[in-house]
Structure 1
Amino acid sequence: MTVSILIFLPVIAALAVLLFKNETAKHAALFFSVIELAIAGVFLANFIPDASSQFGVDVPWIPKLGIYFSAGIDGISMIMVLLTTVLVPLIILTTYKHQYKNANAFYALILFMQAGMLVVFTALDGFLFYVGWEAALIPIYFICSLWGGENRIRITIKFFIYTFAGSLFMLLGIIFLYIQSPAQTYDIRNFYDSGQTIARHQGIIFWAFFLAFAIKMPLFPFHTWQPDTYTEAPNAGTMMLSGIMLKMGVYGVIRWLIPITPMAMITWQNVAIILSVIGIVYASVIAFTQTDGKRLVAYSSIAHVGLISAGIFAWNTQGVQGSMIQMLSHGINVVGMFFIWDIISTRLGTRNISQLGGIAKVAPQFSIAFLIIVLGTVALPLTNGFIGEFLLLNSVYQYNIWIAAVAGLTIIFGAVYMLRMYKNVMQGPTNELTAVFADIHGSEKIALGIICLLIIGLGIYPQPILHISAAAVENLVHTAKLSGKF
């Protein structure tokens, strides 16, 4: 069994979903996404946690141009495959209380997007990586522009211009590496070797890739598309963007950017880390001022991704390992947070925090789930957010103690604005609006229950996830350090 089944099943599923209507399309999409998760479970059960790439496929695509359909799964890719295949059925489940016009197209686009992201996370060919990168962008553009809020067209065009511009820089970098390559292929191992032979051009390649990945994550100052897009997108689109798609940028830094340009990374390492830390502080300060709950979560996401980025660019085993488990944890937590606000806005017609209060008195099960997700987001020990943030801060501390001190503000600031948000929404007396808030039931209870179990389970016992990626991370970090001589 090869990774191609993971990539093509969502495409086939999307085409099948287009044949159904309304509720049937929704059920079919959930069914196919669960099948995809089960297949990922089979891959995980047969995965050997070493540094090798497994379940590979490598067939000629356009051989005259050195392009191959080459993909495989190592420990780093396996974490991303799990992230994608766990979250997509959860995201579909969160939509069960909603009715979408042309529901078959909506759910088909989600499955197409899943296929594109899985290509990105498993590609071993630069051209295939770029195809997956763009293939994931097209469905989310239509999801946001067709089912988004009233300002969706303007906001979606801004998002598309940002991300497409970054993609073009990356494409130029890929073509440049191909031209400079003696083997004239897009193979990732060939790119690693080519990066070493053109040391004087590494700075150009570094920035070509960095811009694409920094926009996608997003990092300060390339973040301005994100809060508006997250706010205007339909909730499922916001979850796909924040829970999975932004991880494409983080993954790109780990898999492509630093191993290809290790010497340029040394030159620009400090700049990248400082931009990451500025993003942490900036986004946290802006989050304090937000009255829209969904927008507050969007800025919180920028701060958390800033810490992940800083830990990666410190480039040690703790930082990259921390980023792997934190990407998984952040995906779970941010999907949970956006689902919480989706429930609130659906029931009450508002996301304005100042208009809420006392919901815990009338919806105790909802309040418990909300609190668990908040505690995971603020990295309370024994929740999933703790181990990743601990490893990331340790990584940055090894790089520079003062930068680590500033980066640590993400935990302090995050705890303050998240707990204050919870207090204002859930505690105190009810008002005319919140007194009739109905507690969670049906699909809401199932989705939030799964999210809470993942938050607690990964927090208590994160070792299996760390074990999956440990060997691949160690090998990649060590190889890049040898190549960059640092």
Structure 2
Amino acid sequence: MDVTTLLLLLLIGAVCTYLAGDKLASKVALLFSTAAMGITLFILATVSDFSTLNVSLPWISSPKAYFALKVDGLALAMVLLTTVLTPLILLSSFANAFKNAKSIYALILFMAFAMAGTFLAADGLLYYIFWELALIPIYFIALLWGNDAIETRKKAVLKFFIYTLGGSLFMLVAFAYLYHKAGSFLLTDLYALQLSTEEQTWIFLAFFLAYAIKIPVVPFHTWQADVYQKAPTVGTMLLSGIMLKMGLYSVIRWQLPIAPLAAKTYMPILLGLSIAGVIYGSIAALRQKDIKRLLAYSSLAHVGLIAAGCYSLTFDGLSGAVSQMIAHGFVIVGLFYAAEIIYRRLETRSIEAMGGIRIQTPRFTSLFMILVLASVALPGTYNFVGEFTVLYSLSQINVWYAVLGGTTIILGAYYMLKMFQNVMLGEANAKVFADVTLGETFVMVVLIAFLLFFGLYPKPLLDLVNPSLQEIFTLINRS
């Protein structure tokens, strides 16, 4: 068995989900996504040498391209994030009555297939194809099943599509130039290139445009809050929980090792933009009255800190960034799900129209509170591991980077706890808030269990990703 089995399972699952019809689509999608998660866990439990799962097959003769997949701890960690969150996201949507359900559930599985392919691809052309394929399903999910009037959705989703596609075209030009130099798109051949400082600068900037829009990094973030708000919650979960990690992962896997000199040259600017995102996202979150927009800006602040960890060019920064990527994926999916649960019962996303939920449902209140505390990196949660390590890496460069980056914890604690207070406490709302169902409880408990377990014992994931990060760190610091 190799990882093509995993990709084929997700792709076949998307087709079978569509053919199953509207009534069975959700169950078929959940079956295939759970099977994909099982394969990932089986690989992690039984394979000691991940390189035995690598794939490299001739694919296109001109230009010379391979169907090449690289399996290492870093790639598997991101595939694990994808395959664990996908069934949870699917399960969280079962209470929603989607029109043309077979299409949205098939698109979710196809998106999981494309994202997993992006994390595994070891050929530049194959990677680019997977990267672009992931954009198609989220475009239709947000456009056809989103919130608000269709016209307002069209504007927000089209902006997102144009931004992302435009940035990706610069990356494609960079790959074309690298192919001209190396005669191959293979990752190992691109790593081996001896590019001049000027060449590295242009390659680095071309990659940066694609990744900065996807992550997003300030000032390339303007699409984010609108799309997160107007997409259906299942789409928002996919975007925030997994898809933005494609950009952060790609910085580590592709951008930094191929153009390390440019990364070192522009590090102060990159750290400045990343930390600006932390501060801007936190301040913007303070002003929000819509719970989904507040969580969107909260996500912007947290990914700004992750980007700072990546661009710190330290081993601790890379390790902390990967830890925080995974932790952020679980906590932001949990928070958006909590917001969806509230919306199902109160039919509003306005924070001002909420309140008094604690009186009616202590169980949901407790689960939501744990997610809020995890999002502000309370010690004992996995978010603390990632944020502390990133801030430590920033302090190694300049203590002021760590001080400014640390505002995500201080301001985050203020706006998240204030939001919790306004939403959950106070007098009971006029509408009856039914307690969470068994299915809703299961999703939230699994997310929280992951955050607490690896918050107390992060060693398994660190042992998984650190050997891969050490290889990349060596490439970044090669002379």
TM-score class, shorter-chain normalisation, is: over 0.9
- Please, what is the CA RMSD of the aligned residues? 1.1
Aligned to 2:180: 179
Deviating beyond 6 angstroms after TM superposition, the runs of 4 or more aligned structure 1 residues are none
Aligned to 2:189: 190
Aligned to 2:159: 158
Instruction: Report how far residue 54 of structure 1 moved.
Output: 4.2
SS where residue 122 of structure 2 aligns?
Answer: coil
Quick check: 1:54–1:74 contact (8 Å CA) kept in 2?
A: no
SS where residue 378 of structure 2 aligns?
Answer: coil
Q: Which sections of structure 2, spanning at least 5 residues, go unmatched?
A: none
Aligned to 2:135: 137
Aligned to 1:429: 427
Instruction: Report how far residue 43 of structure 1 moved.
Output: 1.2
Give the Cα–Cα distance (whole angstroms) in 1 for the partners of residues 339 and 59 of structure 2: 44
SS where residue 58 of structure 1 aligns?
Answer: strand
Instruction: Report how far residue 455 of structure 1 moved.
Output: 1.7
Quick check: 1:3–1:72 contact (8 Å CA) kept in 2?
A: no
Equivalent of 2:319 in 321, 325, 342:
321
Tell me whether 1:304 sits opposite 2:299 in the alignment: no
Aligned to 1:462: 458
Instruction: Report how far residue 19 of structure 1 moved.
Output: 1.1
SS where residue 178 of structure 2 aligns?
Answer: helix
Equivalent of 1:438 in 424, 434, 438:
434
Aligned length in residues: 476
Tell me whether 1:375 sits opposite 2:373 in the alignment: yes
Aligned to 1:123: 121
Quick check: 2:69–2:121 contact (8 Å CA) kept in 1?
A: yes
Q: Quick one: higher RCO (CA 8 Å, sep 6+), 1 or 2?
A: 1
Aligned to 1:39: 39
SS where residue 48 of structure 2 aligns?
Answer: coil
Instruction: Report how far residue 64 of structure 1 moved.
Output: 3.0
Give the Cα–Cα distance (whole angstroms) in 2 for the partners of residues 65 and 482 of structure 1: 29
Quick check: 2:314–2:473 contact (8 Å CA) kept in 1?
A: yes
Give the Cα–Cα distance (whole angstroms) in 1 for the partners of residues 191 and 474 of structure 2: 13
Give the Cα–Cα distance (whole angstroms) in 2 for the partners of residues 348 and 217 of structure 1: 32
Quick check: 2:357–2:429 contact (8 Å CA) kept in 1?
A: no
Give the Cα–Cα distance (whole angstroms) in 2 for the partners of residues 398 and 205 of structure 1: 27
SS where residue 289 of structure 2 aligns?
Answer: coil
Give the Cα–Cα distance (whole angstroms) in 2 for the partners of residues 243 and 452 of structure 1: 14
Give the Cα–Cα distance (whole angstroms) in 2 for the partners of residues 47 and 168 of structure 1: 37
SS where residue 197 of structure 1 aligns?
Answer: coil
Aligned to 1:343: 341
Give the Cα–Cα distance (whole angstroms) in 1 for the partners of residues 195 and 229 of structure 2: 45
SS where residue 402 of structure 2 aligns?
Answer: helix
Quick check: 2:237–2:332 contact (8 Å CA) kept in 1?
A: yes
Instruction: Report how far residue 171 of structure 1 moved.
Output: 0.4
SS where residue 99 of structure 1 aligns?
Answer: coil
Give the Cα–Cα distance (whole angstroms) in 2 for the partners of residues 19 and 381 of structure 1: 46
Give the Cα–Cα distance (whole angstroms) in 1 for the partners of residues 270 and 382 of structure 2: 26
Listed as ranges, the matches of 1:77-92 within 5 Å are: 77-92=75-90
Instruction: Report how far residue 452 of structure 1 moved.
Output: 1.6
CA distance 1:54–1:273, shift in 2 (3 Å): farther
Q: TM-score, normalised by structure 2?
A: 0.98
Equivalent of 1:278 in 270, 276, 279:
276
Aligned to 2:265: 267
SS where residue 393 of structure 2 aligns?
Answer: helix
- 1:354-403 Cα deviation digits (max 9, x unpaired): 11111011011110110010011000000111000010001111111111
Q: Which sections of structure 1, spanning at least 5 residues, go unmatched?
A: none
SS where residue 478 of structure 2 aligns?
Answer: helix
Percent sequence identity is 45
Instruction: Report how far residue 458 of structure 1 moved.
Output: 1.5
Quick check: 1:71–1:122 contact (8 Å CA) kept in 2?
A: yes
SS where residue 85 of structure 1 aligns?
Answer: helix
Quick check: 1:54–1:72 contact (8 Å CA) kept in 2?
A: no
Instruction: Report how far residue 193 of structure 1 moved.
Output: 1.7
Aligned to 1:473: 469
Quick check: 1:3–1:55 contact (8 Å CA) kept in 2?
A: yes
Which one-letter code corresponds to 1:363 in the other structure? T
Aligned to 1:23: 23
- 1:88-111 Cα deviation digits (max 9, x unpaired): 000000001011111011100001
Aligned to 2:171: 170
Q: TM-score, normalised by structure 1?
A: 0.96
Give the Cα–Cα distance (whole angstroms) in 1 for the partners of residues 403 and 330 of structure 2: 26
Give the Cα–Cα distance (whole angstroms) in 2 for the partners of residues 53 and 381 of structure 1: 35
SS where residue 55 of structure 2 aligns?
Answer: strand
Which one-letter code corresponds to 1:475 in the other structure? E
Aligned to 1:213: 211
Instruction: Report how far residue 430 of structure 1 moved.
Output: 1.1
- 1:216-254 Cα deviation digits (max 9, x unpaired): 000000000000000000110000000000000000100
| Larger displacement relative to structure 2 (407-416 or 470-479) | 470-479
